[in-house]
Chains A and B, each alone.
Chain A
Amino acid sequence: MDQQMREDLLKLFQTKLNRAMVYYLETCTRCGVCTTACHVYQSMPQARYIAAYRAEIVRRIYKKHFKGQGKLWPSYGEAKELTEAALQELYDAAYSCTGCRRCMVYCPFGIDTQMLMSIAKLLLVGAHAEPEILTLLADTSIEKGRSLEFFKEGFLQGVKNLEQKVVEKWKLEAEGKTVIPVDVEGAELLYVALAGAHSIIPAAAVFNAAGENWTLSFFEAVNFGAFVGDPTRTKLILDRIVNEALRLKVKEVCICECGTAYRVMKQLSGTQPFKVSSVTEVHARYLREGRIRVSKKAFEGQVVTYHDPCQIARNGGVLEEPRFILQHLTDDFREMAPDPRYNYCCGGGGGLVALGEDTLDFRMKSAKVKAEQVQKTGATVLATACENCHTQLSDLNRHYGLGLNVQFLTSMVADALVVS
């Protein structure tokens, strides 16, 4: 790596050094309490999968380039120069961490390993050594925001086709209203879905059953910028939705079942005239207010458990709502052990699922402990509220022969709708 490149990367590093980050970099006592926190380490007990070990890879570079200690006496803290080899180490550390923050619950100081890994990811982006596909996907999303006119026609046609399916399945005539409204100014709620019928059809059925004044976003919720750890792209992707919400003057932005999208929207959109909810929260509200009714028939005789998506539950705070919904759907709900704060990551976060086949082997091996955790509940239905988790859990189901029915919580609500 030449000097210019190193300087550029260190400038990027510098942008990350806010107060919290410096706390996290300065404080680890390497006590090892976080060792068993990580699902990757639990499944494959190797030192490199310990949270503090990953963090130390970033910390070594910090010591070398940002601390007097690392310049005067590098061996004291094993300070390390930023080199090509260091980049490879950063890659291995960051892309075997799903950013679930389970280790943060263990650490006596609450060190956020996901945040430390965001330095690694940013340096990789700066060195063009990140998983290219994630950047490509992020750029596609950004491009769609810039040239919406170009995509509009195809999108509207696609939505028309989906409407048919909603009407057929739920016999929901939306009383002269459009079944899937798009671009409605003054709507109450903007629903941001994913590209894919499964994210739109059941949601549309529930919104219409609840008599919601809603509108579907042109954009997909997923934020590949966040996966690849690129703050600029993350912001551009987020802003498309924020601007749409402002243009349509909605009061609420409802994010579909996508953990990262929810957390990014909820925590990064700043103070806005609309509130941000997850579709799980909205469904729970409909049930509480009696705006929709569901029956337990659809899942009779089934044992149901729920996987808390890390970004929605431990990191987003939506814990009560899915349980409230499930109480209405089944009489046999079983909680996983240990409790939700300690829930294991599915093993697919941090962009790993988006990397598809390339990470499949690692994802299956590293989430062995998750498969066991699910199995112990004796459930037949595994519900979750995140696209990534759903994909990963389905892969686990196949790989470990768990014989489960992996379901989206929204689909379960839609399937159990009692339409009067």
Chain B
Amino acid sequence: MTAEIRTSDGELLSVKLKKVERRRRTTAFLLAAPLLFFIVFAYVIPIFQMLGRSIDNAEMNSFLTETHEVMQTWDGSEMPGEDVTSTFYYELKTAVENKYHGKIATRLNYEKGGFTSLIKKTSRKLKNFDENANFLDQFIDVHKKWGDIEYWQALKRGTDAYHFRKYLTTFDYEQRFDGSIERIPEKLRINVTLWLRTIFVAVGVTFCCFILAYPISHLLSVLPTRYSNLLMICVLLPFWTSLLVRTSSWMVLLQKQGVLNDTLVSLGFVADESRLELMYNMTGTFIAMTQILLPFMVLPLYSVMKTISPSLMRAATSMGATPFHAFRKIYFPLTYAGISAGSILVFVLAIGYYITPALVGGAKGILISNRIAYHMQQSLDWSLATAMATVLLIAVLVVYWLYNKIVGIDNMRLG
């Protein structure tokens, strides 16, 4: 063992070092603290709230607590007894008095179609009920659907405090009351189509961006600064234009009587009666999204290309490589970091886009994020919206994970 080393003021070296290091770490932490704090409150907590909401049904459970409780002893194989029906009657009556039966109807309708009208009709007739007679019979009198055991099963299930069924809906599956999991009827399937379309659009747009951005970035990296700045402004212009201005300019440009079609017709490339459909279809979606996301591909590519010395290509050609061979073997591999960073950026942004594609792409521009927005804003089925958002989030994380596996996150160059 060597003797303990001490600093010149007599302290143990290891202790002193720790002290100095701690001060440095504290400073570093304090510098990062505001951002950390912000991220936790603006990002981490909301994400966990979102995860929670996707399985949370507590409100519904609180509306019909007692019904839910008595139904626990009911096995669902035959029609429920009076204990269940009477409890439900009284709780529904309270709901009608307090005007939240609409919410009950909406929520139960997620479990089984037809519940909205069932609850509403029942609510209207509730005041005519004889509280001393058989409740089940009276329910069936009001609406024959109450005679269908599936509605009672849906009621039992629909008042669970939490459940994971929204995740099945996310992929167009449903859980039957016997517990089996099946695909929903073909005509109602929507989400899988949209997931696939979203991935297709995201991959396609990433590819289009790559094809367009590569030569532009190269040009930017070799032009003298005064020209490259001008070109960079052109590339970044979409960043500085408001969404509405951009969208309306696409309309002017792309519609049937738009600038592009007019030009093609007057040049004689297309006949007047067969003008190109550039909007309200996939073409429109691709054009719009590619334009918006192009800078996210250009910037990382540019920053990588800027660091590639022109003498490398010269060296390669001086050794006898044709310009193409030199590009393929030397220049292109050196831009991998930029390509992958740009691609992942564009891809991740593309799968989250929704306003632009829907405006320019019409029905074909509806992507999974439009569905999330639809459930957030229109149907108000926030559980489903958050379940879908969670799946989207996981998809993005998987992409990052794959990226890290294949390329390594350290190799990413964002410009």
Partners in one complex: no
A residues engaging B (CB < 8 A)? none
